[in-house]
Amino acid sequence: MIEVFKTNVKKHYQAAFLIAQIHQRFADHTAHFDLDDCDRILRVQCQGGPVQSARLIAFLSDFGFHAEVLPDDHPPVSLTWLLNRPARIWLHQPLCRRTQV
């Protein structure tokens, strides 16, 4: 699983330091920064399950940095949500287009 955080990390040396600390403290997590992004993104992936977001935010706070989880732009769609949509939506949207010969 991958989690994306907005941070206030500004310098590359700060990012390098924090990545080393994250990798040492959270052994099954892989982290990298995108400081060129306006939100100074930190992406973290966990090999052993979900990213420990709350612990990671607190950990960065211990070093004087702020981080917050960025919400997904497109939340996942559940089957229940799809099935509760009005039937007319399904009737007017073909699953595939057939071409006439």
pTM of the model: 0.70
Q: So what's the pLDDT on residue 60? A: 96
59: how many CB neighbours lie within 10 A of its CB?
Answer: 17
Is 40 inside any structural domain?
yes
Is 21 inside any structural domain?
yes
Residue 27 sits in a domain whose CATH number is 3.30.70.100
Total number of domains in the chain? 1
- For 37-63, how does the pLDDT look when each residue is reduced to its tens digit (9 = 90+)? 989 999 999 988 899 999 999 999 999
| Beta bridge partners of residue 67, listed in sequence order | 7
